[in-house]
Amino acid sequence: MITGSNAKLYRACRVQQGDSTVLHNFHDDISIPDKFVVTLELVPGRESSGRTIDTITGISKDASTDGRITAVSITDNPGGNPALSPDALGHEILNNGMDVIVHFTCRDTNRVGMESRALQLAHMGMKNILALTGDYSGKGFGGVGLPVFDFDSVILTSMLKDLNKRLIRSGHSSIFVTGCAVSPFKYTEAEAWVQYKKMERKIEAGASFAITQLGYDIDKYEELLQYNRDKNIDTPVLASLYLLDKRSARAMHAGRVPGVHVTDRLCKTVLREWEQHGGGMPQAIERTARLGVVLKGIGYKGIHLGGIHGGFEDVGKILDRMAVIEHNWQDYIEEFRENEPNRFYLYKQPTKQQTTATAVLPGKDTITVKLTENCHYLFLRAAHDLFFDKGASLAPMYKRISRSLEKNKASWLLKVFFEDPFKKLMLSCKSCGDCGIQHVGFLCPESGCPKHTRNGACGGSKDGFCEVNTDKLCVWVRAYRRMKQHGEAEKLTCAFVPPRLWELKGTSSWINFHLDRDHQKPAKPPARML
């Protein structure tokens, strides 16, 4: 821990935020060009008070005293299991002088609940939000909870941006600083592509910082930075780090933490360290510090440190060690080069002499699509172009037919005798009434994705397979492969897709499309043009 004059200096720099006085302001810190930002991720448990809560508040107080931590982030029902609300706990921590990033997932409440929660956070002066689609539902009272996923993280980010506009109009001084998660640790071409595209959509929707998923593969960390440079993305990115102990290494290696990647080799090393040394904490601290300085060296804006369960002391040791070794960061880079076979990287891996990846590789996965899958895509694409293109010459006729069916109360005939049987057979349609297959390679986002994502995959897939239905390919991986086969992958996740309209559930999506009722309806012109 920092003591003496440095600590006094940090304490003198406290700033007002809402009703609270905080040592660092997260938004200010990530906006300072040369500042390396350190944040902590803390995980509340299923209790309203007690040991875990005391530990979290204790870590936050110590972090505030130490002065090197910009903010703590509080998870939102991690793993989908009930835990103390990050809003309540975060507010207490903010009042104790430490800035807070609240994790905000789309799993547990619908859009009404989410907006209400956002208003509550604004009211409490809690403005830093990490917008996440969220892990799938876990167990609560009486069984597994209903997975809501009314929004995905892109739409949530967009909603917060919209709310910001309203808050500014109403004279509110403090508005949301929304961030997003990104996972470079995807080892198939399809997953990597969709992750990066989705990150672009999140940034367009209003994300002003990003935090990576956790992994120990420096080539993937570099890949993300290189991708951002290629796309002229200057959003600050914090890299996740974790103090790996035996339990967490086993869980992550076994895939029990969605999206996190711990190799066989790393897991065995961690287990050996803890067995041979009667407690592997010094090794865990050293590994974390080394990866921290490498990430700082290659250009990350900061680190987001998790796995802090005991107290702040371990964080202090990591940061102290980083200060000692940071000038020699290149000495450690090879320790985090995984060199596992059959993995997809967007860029060529650097040689030992290089420190950054440079050469662009075209997709090197062999994309093979079954004949049936290919025919399914071609048939639905052709049908879509023929019947559902608003710019096509036949579109006015379809509109007239739709109007006439509606007027004569015969649209249900179309739905029951044609649309439902066809779409159930071809797409396992759930009759949402607001069809989104055209955004997902002509696959159904309602039946094909347990989180109903329409703006790209969540970060939970592994080796191309779904986080929830682990024996099934992620619907976005299928979509990418089908489209890549025809040189159309660029169209996937290429634009913001608005939320589905629940009021259309059970109605004819065909008629809704032609009568401009669904999410694709033309935007209203601005008021002054009316």
- Residues forming the site for ligand SF4 (CB under 6 A): 423, 427, 429-432, 435-437, 444-447, 509
CB of 518 to ligand SF4, least distance (A): 9
Do 136 and 468 meet the contact criterion of CB atoms below 8 Å apart? Answer: yes
Cα 494 to the center of its chain, rounded Å = 17
- Shortest distance, position 441 Cβ to ligand SF4, whole Å: 12
Q: What is the DSSP letter of 356?
A: S
CA distance 315 to 323: 12
Phi, psi of 6 (to 5 degrees): -60, -45
368/469 Cα distance (integer angstroms): 21
C-alpha angle with apex 415: 410 to 418, nearest 5 degrees?
110
**Residue 420 C-beta: closest distance to ligand SF4, Å:** 9
> Least distance to ligand SF4 from the beta carbon of 152, Å?
14
**Distance between CA 493 and CA 488 in Å, rounded?**
11
Choice between 309 and 491, CB closer to ligand SF4:
491
174 vs 520, beta carbon nearer ligand SF4? 520
What CA–CA distance (Å, rounded) separates 108 from 514?
33
239: left (phi over 0), alpha (psi -120 to 50) or beta: beta
Under 8 Å CB-to-CB from 40, ≥6 apart: which residues? 59, 63, 69, 71, 72, 73, 304, 305, 306, 308, 315
Residue whose CB is less far from ligand SF4, 71 or 437:
437
Length of the chain: 530
**Cβ count within 10 A of residue 4:** 7
Residue 508: Cβ-neighbour burial (10 angstroms; 0-12, 13-18, 19+): buried
C-beta of 75 vs 453, nearer to ligand SF4: 453
| Locus of tokens 């809704």 | 512
Which one, 309 or 519, has the nearer CB to ligand SF4? 519
List helix spans (H) across 388-449.
395-407, 411-414, 420-427, 445-448
Residue closer to ligand SF4, measured from CB, 190 or 432? 432
- Find the shortest distance in angstroms from Cβ 197 to ligand SF4: 20
Write down the least CB distance from residue 379 to ligand SF4, Å. 14
Q: Which is nearer to ligand SF4, 370 or 505 (CB)?
A: 505
Residues 71 and 101 sit within 8 Å (Cβ to Cβ): yes
Separation of alpha carbons 22 and 11, rounded Å: 9
Q: What are phi and psi of 161, to 5 degrees?
A: -65, -45
Amino acid at 33: P
Minimum gap (Å) between residue 429 Cβ and ligand SF4: 3
Which whole-number Å values give the CA distances from 165 to 111, 124, 168, 425, 468, in the listed order? Answer: 18, 18, 5, 44, 36
Asked whether the beta carbons of 284 and 318 are under 8 A apart, the reply is no
Query: Which is closer to ligand SF4, CB of 236 or CB of 445?
Result: 445
Could you tell me the smallest distance in angstroms from the CB atom of residue 431 to ligand SF4? 6
- Minimum distance from CB of 447 to ligand SF4 (Å)? 6
Smallest separation (angstroms) from ligand SF4 to the CB of 516: 16
What is the rounded CA–CA span in Å between residue 235 and residue 31? 10
Contact 191, 321 (CB under 8 A): no
Beta carbon nearer to ligand SF4, 17 or 493: 493
- The least CB distance from residue 270 to ligand SF4, in Å, is 43
